[in-house]
């Protein structure tokens, strides 16, 4: 499954993996903003941005093919809108939509693929995202695949009993029942989780195995990347 | 409805980021006051539930199926402020982990679905849940999807993404259809939950006075959705006019091959538009059905 792959990628130990999550988030934001303000036909600048991403992928030791393939998830959407813009005579925008949305997706994948999600979220918290939101996102990610698996069991059970070619009303009622069961189970699961957390003296914050440390190298990384990107953009 | 990066123009995404951040901050503050700490895992697991709920398909017609979007259901069961937080977390995870929606466009997506969508859905529920629960739930769920869809469409148009009018009408019709489906699903799921355990469905508490802020905000969200809707349905003329006024229109040119699509026999402009929209909708629908059939055949073969 998707997440398993990403989790495996993010466990590496390359120079990019070991940067502080805050440094990577800031560099990502600079990259995305620079890209968003670059003209769609400024090909040298776009090529340099793309080279920065390729260099990042190689340094991080991520499999380039499968990362670039995964980033194509955005293409159906952007190709459709690109085609519409092209037909409407706005060729510049059409090109921009496709190439820039693809590069943005690759950039996000590069950062998420080199940062375990708990670290990424604590980086976001350190940058000022409210703790409640970060905690909710952490729980969400933790239980996402558990609840999804339950949903798949429910779907399978439903298919076994009514077949796949269902009648309208029957199918609707069955779906609603399945969702209600899933809802109630999630509710009770949350209660159990809370009891378990209390039993283990939850202090209102997830403990990280290693503390976030924004060192020299991290500062240098952010400043150099940002400066380089901005210079390329202005030239 | 998840807008990727680089679809919105810089002023649009920047403005929406600037709006969404304090809005979510306000909701976090409200939720922090209302919730006990039992609720933190509850909110997270409910987010996972909404994700997983997309796997359960609901048959809605010949060969097609819909699924729950969930913003309204969360608002009805958890309350508006917690629902906003859960939806924000969902949208953020979708953007970072699943590449569904952009990072710079996070503000826009959060504003459309987590803030405006949830609040617009909560308003009718808050007003009518006591007296007429069924219509309240249906209208709430309908509005939550409709408002987010119209806002997303309006933002794309304001950004100057050229869309010929038939396409706009078709997408509005598709939004309306999925909003109706959302209403039907939400109502039957709410009933099923109530049958299972009535304690799981929160009744809104009208006696709490500081809910007024929420109601006012919901009204604003609804009005914004309406503006987006009207704007989209009067586009591109309306957008071009505004663009000219703002001096942004230099880039937007609407020389669509669809330009005189409505060369029909009808005199009334409204009828013509409606017919064009309906025809487009039918074509898209037929294509979807054919596609689904094809996939179904391949799978069972």
- Per-residue pLDDT tens digits for B165-190: 788 888 888 888 889 989 988 998 99
Assess whether A140 and A102 both reside in one domain.
no
Q: Do B58 and A117 touch (CB under 8 A)?
A: no
Assess whether A105 and A151 both reside in one domain.
no
Shortest CB distance from B97 goes to which of A112, A150, A151? A112
Is A195's Cβ below 8 Å from some Cβ in B?
A: no
- Interval B246-250 mean pLDDT: 40
Q: Do B187 and B137 touch, CB atoms closer than 8 A?
A: yes
Is B44's Cβ below 8 Å from some Cβ in A?
A: yes
Give me the pLDDT at residue B229, please: 65
Give me the pLDDT at residue B255, please: 35
Residue B261 has pLDDT above 60, yes or no: no
Assess whether A215 and A195 both reside in one domain.
no
> What is the per-residue pLDDT across B105-140, written as a single tens digit (0 to 9) for each?
999 999 999 999 999 888 888 888 778 888 889 999
Q: Which residues of chain A have pLDDT under 70?
A: 1-3, 163-169, 207-210
Q: Do B103 and A32 touch (CB under 8 A)?
A: yes
In angstroms, rounded to a whole number, what is the distance separating the alpha carbons of residues A6 and A71? 12
Is B104's Cβ below 8 Å from some Cβ in A?
A: yes
Q: Do A56 and A110 touch, CB atoms closer than 8 A?
A: yes
Residue B299 has pLDDT above 60, yes or no: no
Assess whether A109 and A215 both reside in one domain.
yes
Q: Do A89 and B193 touch (CB under 8 A)?
A: no
Give me the pLDDT at residue B206, please: 47
Is residue A205 situated within a structural domain? no
Shortest CB distance from A190 goes to which of B41, B188, B255? B41
Q: Do A37 and B10 touch (CB under 8 A)?
A: yes
Is residue A89 situated within a structural domain? yes
Assess whether A184 and A219 both reside in one domain.
no
In angstroms, rounded to a whole number, what is the distance separating the alpha carbons of residues B23 and B2? 19
- A193-197, B9-13, B72-76, B296-300: least confident range: B296-300
From the number of C-beta atoms within 10 Å of its C-beta (0-12, 13-18, 19+), residue A203 rates as exposed
- The CB density around residue B37, as the number of other CB atoms within 10 Å, is 13
Assess whether A145 and A228 both reside in one domain.
no
pLDDT, chain B, mean: 75
Is residue A120 situated within a structural domain? no
Give me the pLDDT at residue B125, please: 85
> What is the per-residue pLDDT across A153-201, written as a single tens digit (0 to 9) for each?
988 888 788 765 556 667 778 888 889 999 999 999 999 998 998 888 8
Give me the pLDDT at residue A81, please: 85
From the number of C-beta atoms within 10 Å of its C-beta (0-12, 13-18, 19+), residue B95 rates as buried
Assess whether A58 and A164 both reside in one domain.
no
Second-level CATH architecture of B10-259? Orthogonal Bundle (1.10)
Within 208-237 of B, beta carbons closer than 8 Å to A belong to none
Give me the pLDDT at residue A223, please: 93
Residue B215 has pLDDT above 70, yes or no: no
> What is the per-residue pLDDT across B46-87, written as a single tens digit (0 to 9) for each?
999 998 988 787 776 655 677 888 899 999 988 889 999 999
- Which residues constitute the domain of residue A62? 2-115+211-234
Q: Show residues of chain B in contact with A171, CB under 8 Å.
A: 58-59
Assess whether A13 and A94 both reside in one domain.
yes
Give me the pLDDT at residue B62, please: 57
Give me the pLDDT at residue B240, please: 44
Is B122's Cβ below 8 Å from some Cβ in A?
A: no
Tell me the pTM: 0.81
In angstroms, rounded to a whole number, what is the distance separating the alpha carbons of residues A161 and A169? 15
The residue in chain B having the minimum alpha-carbon distance to the alpha carbon of residue A176 is B189
Tell me the pLDDT band of B276, cut-offs 50, 70 and 90.
low
Say which residue, B295 or B185, is predicted with more confidence: B185
Assess whether A9 and A51 both reside in one domain.
yes
The residue whose two tokens read 């308003």 is: B123
Q: Do B47 and A140 touch (CB under 8 A)?
A: yes
The interface predicted TM-score (ipTM) is 0.91
Dihedral, CA atoms, A144, A73, A107, A31, nearest 10 degrees?
-110
Q: Do B182 and B142 touch, CB atoms closer than 8 A?
A: yes
Residue B205 has pLDDT above 90, yes or no: no
The residue whose two tokens read 């060969």 is: B63
Assess whether A93 and A182 both reside in one domain.
no
What is the total count of domains within chain A?
2
Assess whether A97 and A49 both reside in one domain.
yes
**Interface with chain B: mutation pick from A53, A137, A168, A177, highest number of B CBs within 10 Å:** A137
Is residue A125 situated within a structural domain? no
Residue B262 has pLDDT above 90, yes or no: no
Residue B266 has pLDDT above 50, yes or no: no
Q: Do A137 and B92 touch (CB under 8 A)?
A: yes
- Interval B259-270 mean pLDDT: 42
Tell me the pLDDT band of B162, cut-offs 50, 70 and 90.
confident
Is residue A171 situated within a structural domain? yes
Assess whether A161 and A103 both reside in one domain.
no
In angstroms, rounded to a whole number, what is the distance separating the alpha carbons of residues A59 and B169? 47
């Amino acid at each position: 499954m998707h997440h398993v792959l990403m989790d495996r990628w993010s466990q590496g130990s390359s120079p990019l993996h070991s940067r502080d999550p805050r440094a990577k988030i800031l560099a990502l934001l600079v990259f995305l903003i620079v890209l968003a303000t670059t003209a769609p036909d400024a090909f040298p600048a776009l090529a340099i941005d793309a080279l920065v991403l390729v260099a990042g992928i190689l340094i991080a030791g991520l499999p380039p093919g499968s990362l670039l393939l995964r980033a194509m998830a955005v293409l159906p959407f952007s190709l459709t809108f690109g085609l519409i813009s092209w037909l409407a005579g706005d060729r510049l925008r059409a090109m921009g939509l496709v190439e820039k949305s693809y590069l943005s997706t690759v950039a996000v994948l590069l950062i998420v693929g080199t940062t375990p999600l708990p670290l990424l979220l604590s980086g976001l918290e350190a940058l000022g995202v409210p703790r409640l939101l970060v905690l909710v996102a952490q729980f969400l990610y933790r239980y996402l695949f558990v609840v999804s698996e339950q949903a798949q069991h429910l779907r399978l059970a439903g298919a076994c009993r009514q077949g796949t070619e269902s009648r309208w009303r029957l199918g609707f009622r069955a779906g609603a029942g399945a969702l209600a069961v899933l809802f109630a189970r999630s509710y009770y699961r949350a209660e159990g989780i809370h009891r378990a957390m209390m039993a283990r003296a939850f202090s209102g914050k997830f403990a990280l195995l290693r503390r976030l440390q924004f060192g020299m190298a991290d500062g240098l990384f952010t400043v150099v990347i940002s400066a380089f990107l901005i210079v390329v953009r202005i030239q | 409805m998840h807008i990727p990066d680089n679809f919105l123009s810089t002023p649009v995404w920047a403005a929406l980021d600037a709006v969404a951040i304090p809005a979510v901050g306000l909701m976090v503050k409200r939720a922090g006051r209302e919730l006990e700490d039992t609720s933190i895992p509850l909110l997270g697991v409910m987010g996972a539930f909404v994700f997983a709920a997309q796997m359960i398909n609901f048959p809605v017609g010949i060969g097609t199926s819909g699924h729950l979007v969930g913003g309204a259901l969360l608002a009805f069961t958890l309350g508006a402020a917690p629902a906003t937080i859960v939806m924000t977390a969902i949208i953020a995870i979708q953007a970072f982990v699943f590449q569904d929606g952009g990072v710079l466009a996070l503000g826009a997506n959060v504003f459309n679905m987590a803030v405006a969508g949830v609040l617009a859905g909560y308003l009718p529920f808050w007003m009518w849940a006591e007296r007429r629960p069924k219509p309240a739930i249906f209208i709430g769920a309908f509005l939550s999807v409709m408002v987010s869809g119209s806002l997303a469409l309006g933002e794309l148009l304001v950004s100057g993404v050229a869309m010929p009018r038939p396409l706009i009408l078709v997408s509005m019709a598709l939004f309306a259809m999925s909003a109706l489906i959302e209403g039907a699903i939400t109502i039957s799921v709410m009933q099923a939950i109530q049958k299972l355990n009535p304690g799981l469905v929160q009744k809104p508490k009208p006696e709490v006075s500081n809910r007024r802020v929420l109601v006012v905000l919901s009204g604003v969200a609804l009005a914004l959705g309406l503006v987006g809707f009207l704007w989209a349905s009067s586009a591109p003329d309306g957008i071009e006019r505004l663009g000219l006024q703002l001096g942004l229109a230099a880039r937007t040119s609407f020389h669509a091959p669809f330009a005189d699509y409505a060369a029909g026999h009808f005199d009334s402009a409204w009828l013509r538009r409606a017919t064009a929209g309906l025809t487009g909708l039918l074509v898209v629908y037929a294509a979807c059905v054919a596609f689904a059939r094809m996939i179904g055949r391949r799978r069972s073969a």
